[in-house]
Amino acid sequence: MKYKNLIKQMTLEEKASLMSGENFWNTKAIERLGIPSIMLTDGPHGLRKQGGKADHLGLNKSLPATCYPTAATLANSWDKSLVYKVGQDIGKEASSEKVSVLLGPGLNIKRNPLCGRNFEYFSEDPYLTGELASEMVKGIQSNGISACPKHYAVNSQEHMRMTIDEIVDERSLREIYLTGFEKVVKESNPYTMMSSYNKVNGDYANENQNLTDILYDEWGFDGVIVTDWGGNNDRVAGLKAHNQLEMPSTNGITDKEIVDAIQAGTLDEFILDEAVDQLLTLIFKVGFENKEPVHVDYEEHHSKAVEAARQSIVLLKNENRILPLKAGTNVAVIGDFAKNPRYQGAGSSLINPYKLSNSLDHLQKSSLNITGYAQGFKRMGASSSKLVQEAVSLAKSAEAVLLFIGLDESKEAEGVDREDLKLAQNQLELVEAITKVNKNVIVVLAGGGALELPFADQVQGIIHTYLAGQGGGEAVVDLLLGKFNPSGKLSETFPIQYTDVPSSDYYPGKQASSEHKEGLFIGYRYFETANVPVRYPFGYGLSYTTFEYSDIVIDGLHVSFNLTNSGDVAGAEIAQLYIEKADSVIFRSKKELKAFDKVYLEPGETKQVSLTLTDRDFSYYNPEIKDWEIESGNYMIQIGSSIQEIHLEGTVEMAGASPSVFLKNSYPYYASANVKQITDSEFESLLGRELPPKSWDPHKELGMNDTINQAQYKNWVGKLLYNSIMFVHHFLKKIGKPLTANNVYFVINMPFRQIDRFSGGKVSKNNVERLLRWINR
Ligand code: BGC
C-alpha cells in the first residue's frame, strides 16, 4: 500500500468517510492529515461545472465552456488524433477550473438506435468505440487530470436504468459490451471508471464481482471505481466489489454502514484500507495542490470545435453533384434548425456553450444568394399550415432549398429512450410540400443518431450533422459550400425502418430484465449476416472527390495497400479493414471491423496505407476456457470504403483451435443471424442458465431498491403516486414542455432509496420507509 502510514493515522470513521462524496461534485477532505478534496464533473463533450445549484440532469446552468460535438458525432470522423485533441481541450478547460476528474467519455455500445443516450456514445462497433474512447481518455489525462470512462457496463437502455437487469451471454458480453472498456483500460490507463446503474446478469454493475474482477485482474486496471450518481445500492457489497467512491454525498449514511459492517465483522477492514489507498493515490495524482494555473483561450477552442464538426459531419446523398453549392446560387433556407441549432443532447452532458454559431448567419454572410428564411415548422411538433405555406412560397422561386430538420431537444435525453426513429410528422409534411415545388432540395439533418428517412429518394442531397456542438452551425456551411470536403462516415447503421433492427421486438426491457437475445448480432453484425437491406450501411459517407484502392499486400498480420485521390479536390478517405471467415464452424458475424485509417490526399496523390492486425482480431471469446481463442483456418481480409463497398481482398491463414463451442448446428437461429426468431430455449442454452422473470411480481413487497413505477401494481396509495406523476408528465407534454416532462418521467424510474438523496434531505429516509409501508399495506 502506497499510503500505509497515512492510513494508519486515520480513525475508522475517517477512512469510511472518504468512501463517499462531500457534496454533489466533491470528495471529502481530511484537513488534519493534509488530504485535499477533489472535484469530479461532467463531461463528456465539454465541461459542465456547476457554479450554483448542483444536479445530475443538466437542470441548472453550468459555467460557460466549449461544447464540442458529442461522441456519436465525433465517432463519424474516425479520426483518432482529432478525438485526442478534443479530449485534450476539454481536459484543459477542466484543469483551468480545478476539476480533477472529468466524467467521460461515455462508451456504451449502441445496442439499439432508440437508446436515449446514444448521442453520448461512439458506435455500435466495439473496436471503433475502443479506439476512439482511448484517444479521448489520453487527451483528457494529458492535462494531469483523470478521465472517467462510463458506464461500466451494458448500460444499454435508459428506461428503468437504475434497476433493469441486462441479461447477456458471456461471449456477447466480452466481444461486444466489454471490448471498448478493455481497450480503454489497456491502451490509455484511465485513473477512474464509472460503474453503471443497471444490473448485469443479476447483480448491480457496482456490486458485480465478475465485472470488477475482469477490470482489475484481467485487464490490469489500477484506478478507482466511482458509482454513477446515486448508483449505490448496498454500500458494503459495492466496497467488496472494488467500488471505492460513492457519489454524490449521502450525508454520512453509507459511511456509517461501512463502519457498522467492520464492527460487526462482516467486512474486513483491510478491504477498506485498500480502497482508501487507491482513492488517496488518485487524489494526490490529480489534485491541484502546487499546480500552476491553466489559462484557456476560448476563441481558439471554438475554432477547434468548428474543425471537429467539419471532420465529423456525414454527406449521405449527393445526387447530380448538387453539392457543393456554387457561389451566387439563389438558395432558400428553410427550417427552424437553421436559426436555432440542435447541437447537443439533454441531461447530465448539457454544456452551457461559450458561444454558439448558427447556419443561417453563416449562409447569409456566404457567397450564396440567400433569397430568404422560413421557419417551416414548429420545433416541438405542433402542426402549422401557415409556416408550411410561407416555406413553400419561398421554396418555389429558389434554385435550391436548404432544408434544416431533425430531432428536437426532447427526443434525445438522459433517462428516456426514444419512442421511434421517426422525424416529427410536421417536419415530414414540410419535406413533402417543399419537394413538390422545388426539385433541388438538400436536407440538413440534426440529431444524435440514426433516423428513418422516408424522403431519401425525393431529395437531391442529405447531409447529417449529428449533434455537432457549438461550432456545427458554421461547420456545415463550410461543407455545403465546398470550403471543406466532407469526410465523415457513419459509425452506425441506418436501418430503412425501425422494425428492421434486430432487438426491435423486445427493446427496451420494460420491467425486471432486458434480454439481449440477439447476442452479438447488433448493428451491422446483424444486417450483414442476416442480409437485411439498410438505408445506409456502417462506414458509409460521401466525399466531393473519389478514391481508388490498389495493390494490396498481406504479409502475416501486416496489410498494406495504395490509396489514391482520383478526383480533382483534396479530401480525406476513411479506409476500413474487415475480416470474414466464410467457412467458420461457429456462428459469428459475417464481417467485423478490425482496423481503419483516415488518410488525407491532395488531388492525384497516392499514399501507402499500412494496417497491422493482432491475434486478438481473429479471436472469439470461449467461456469454457475463459479466454480468447482463434478458430484455425483461412480468413478473408477486406479493404473497403464502407462495410458494403469492398475494393480489395486477400486471405490470411491463422493457426488456432478447432472450436467445440458455439457450433452452428447447435444454434440454428444464431447461425443464420435470424435473431428475431430466437426462442427462449436457444437463448437459454447460449446463456447457460434459465432466464430470470422479465416482469415484476405484483405481489412482492416493495423495498428500497424497487421503483416508483412498480407502485402502480400495489394498493391505491401506490396507484395514486404513480398516476399523479404520469398525469404531470402527460400534462407537461401536452402544453409543449417535453423537456420538463422528461425530467418528471425520470422520477418513475427512480428506486425509493433515491428519494431522500435526490430531495436533498427534504424527504427523510424515515418518510420514504413510511411511504413504502403504506404502499405495501
Ligand atoms: C449520469 C452520468 C453522469 C452523472 C453526473 C448520471 O445521471 O448517468 O453519466 O456523469 O449523472 O452528472
Indicate whether 506 and 542 sit together in one domain. no
Confidence (pLDDT) at 741: 86
* Mean pLDDT of all residues in 113-134: 98
- Expressed in angstroms and rounded, the spacing between residue 55 Cα and the centre of ligand 1 is 9
The grid coordinates of residue 453 equal 428517412
Contact 24, 249 (CB under 8 A): yes
Give the burial class of 567: count Cβ atoms within 10 A of its Cβ; 0-12 exposed, 13-18 middle, 19 or more buried. Answer: middle
| Interval 373-431: pLDDT, tens | 999 999 999 999 999 999 999 999 999 999 999 999 989 999 999 999 999 999 999 99
Residue where one domain finishes, among candidates 247, 262, 277: 247
Query: Which residue has the CA at smallest separation from atom 5 of ligand 1?
Result: 56
Residue where one domain finishes, among candidates 664, 687, 720: 664
Unique residue bearing C-alpha cell 408528465: 729
- Expressed in angstroms and rounded, the spacing between residue 46 Cα and the centre of ligand 1 is 14
What is the identity of the amino acid at 594?
Answer: K
* Dihedral sign of CA atoms 114, 115, 121, 126 in order: negative
Residue 268 lies in a domain: no
Residue where one domain finishes, among candidates 247, 277, 307: 247
Indicate whether 495 and 641 sit together in one domain. no
Distance from C-alpha of 505 to C-alpha of 369, rounded to nearest angstrom: 48
Query: Which residue has the CA at smallest separation from atom 2 of ligand 1?
Result: 228
Which domain CATH number covers 443? 3.40.50.1700
Choose among 155, 144, 475: nearest CA to 308.
475
Indicate whether 505 and 541 sit together in one domain. no
Give DSSP secondary structure letters for 314-341. Answer: EEEEEGGG--SPPTT-EEEEESHHHHS-
Residue 31 lies in a domain: no
Task: Provide the pLDDT confidence category of residue 693 given band limits of 50, 70 and 90.
Answer: very high
- Expressed in angstroms and rounded, the spacing between residue 100 Cα and the centre of ligand 1 is 16
Proportion of the chain above pLDDT 90, given as a percent = 90
- Expressed in angstroms and rounded, the spacing between residue 266 Cα and the centre of ligand 1 is 31
**What is the pTM (predicted TM-score) of this model?**
0.97
Residue 436 lies in a domain: yes
The grid coordinates of residue 739 equal 423537456
Give the burial class of 244: count Cβ atoms within 10 A of its Cβ; 0-12 exposed, 13-18 middle, 19 or more buried. Answer: buried
Active site residue 228: yes
Establish whether residue 542 lines the binding site of ligand 1, counting it when its CB lies within 6 angstroms of any ligand atom.
no
Proportion of the chain above pLDDT 70, given as a percent = 99
| Interval 14-62: pLDDT, tens | 999 999 999 999 999 999 999 999 999 999 999 999 977 777 666 778 9
Unique residue bearing C-alpha cell 441549432: 341
Indicate whether 354 and 497 sit together in one domain. yes
Residue 294 lies in a domain: no
- Expressed in angstroms and rounded, the spacing between residue 61 Cα and the centre of ligand 1 is 15
- Expressed in angstroms and rounded, the spacing between residue 358 Cα and the centre of ligand 1 is 28
Establish whether residue 229 lines the binding site of ligand 1, counting it when its CB lies within 6 angstroms of any ligand atom.
yes
Establish whether residue 204 lines the binding site of ligand 1, counting it when its CB lies within 6 angstroms of any ligand atom.
no
Query: Which residue has the CA at smallest separation from atom 12 of ligand 1?
Result: 56
Query: Of the ranges 228-232, 618-622, 709-713, 731-735, which is most confident?
Result: 618-622
497 C-beta neighbours (distance < 10 Å), count: 14
* Mean pLDDT of all residues in 169-175: 98
Buried b (16+ CB within 10 A) or exposed e, 636-652: bbbbbbbbbebbbeeeb
Query: Which residue has the CA at smallest separation from atom 6 of ligand 1?
Result: 229
Establish whether residue 108 lines the binding site of ligand 1, counting it when its CB lies within 6 angstroms of any ligand atom.
no
Residue 526 lies in a domain: no
List, in sequence order, every residue forming a beta bridge with 225; answer none if it has no partner.
193, 243
SS (H, E, C) 49-107: CCCCCCCCCCCCCCCCECCCCCHHHHHHHCCHHHHHHHHHHHHHHHHHCCCCEEECCEC
Buried b (16+ CB within 10 A) or exposed e, 364-398: eebebebbbbbbbbbbbbeeeeebbebbbebbeeb
Unique residue bearing C-alpha cell 448521442: 119
Indicate whether 437 and 543 sit together in one domain. no
Unique residue bearing C-alpha cell 441548472: 60
CA of 148, closest atom in ligand 1: 10
Establish whether residue 172 lines the binding site of ligand 1, counting it when its CB lies within 6 angstroms of any ligand atom.
no
Number of domains in the chain: 4
Establish whether residue 20 lines the binding site of ligand 1, counting it when its CB lies within 6 angstroms of any ligand atom.
no
Indicate whether 102 and 170 sit together in one domain. yes
Establish whether residue 150 lines the binding site of ligand 1, counting it when its CB lies within 6 angstroms of any ligand atom.
yes
Confidence (pLDDT) at 760: 62
Structural domain harbouring 95:
37-247
Which domain CATH number covers 134? 3.20.20.300
Indicate whether 362 and 419 sit together in one domain. yes
Query: Which residue has the CA at smallest separation from atom 8 of ligand 1?
Result: 228
Choose among 471, 467, 350: nearest CA to 42.
350
Residue 699 lies in a domain: no
Does residue 717 or residue 189 have the better pLDDT?
189
Residue 522 lies in a domain: no
Query: What does the mean pLDDT of the chain come to?
Result: 96
| Interval 479-532: pLDDT, tens | 999 999 999 999 999 999 999 999 999 999 999 999 999 999 999 999 999 999
| Interval 185-195: pLDDT, tens | 999 999 999 99
Catalytic hit among 42, 228, 277, 617:
228
Establish whether residue 348 lines the binding site of ligand 1, counting it when its CB lies within 6 angstroms of any ligand atom.
yes
Indicate whether 88 and 213 sit together in one domain. yes
Using the 8-state DSSP alphabet, how is residue 225 labeled? E
- Expressed in angstroms and rounded, the spacing between residue 162 Cα and the centre of ligand 1 is 12
Indicate whether 505 and 596 sit together in one domain. no
699 C-beta neighbours (distance < 10 Å), count: 7
Indicate whether 398 and 505 sit together in one domain. yes
Buried b (16+ CB within 10 A) or exposed e, 28-58: bbbeeeebbbbbbbbbbbbbbbbeeebebbb
| Interval 269-322: pLDDT, tens | 999 999 999 999 999 999 998 889 999 999 999 999 999 999 999 999 999 999
| Interval 602-624: pLDDT, tens | 999 999 999 999 999 999 999 99
Residue 352 lies in a domain: yes
Cβ-based neighbours of 665, under 8 Å, separated by 6 or more: 671
Indicate whether 563 and 597 sit together in one domain. yes
Indicate whether 178 and 88 sit together in one domain. yes
| Interval 649-690: pLDDT, tens | 999 999 999 999 999 999 999 999 999 999 999 999 999 999
Residue to probe by mutation, ligand 1, list 229, 414, 757, most atoms within 8 Å of CB = 229
Lowest mean pLDDT among 109-118, 225-234, 658-667, 739-748: 739-748
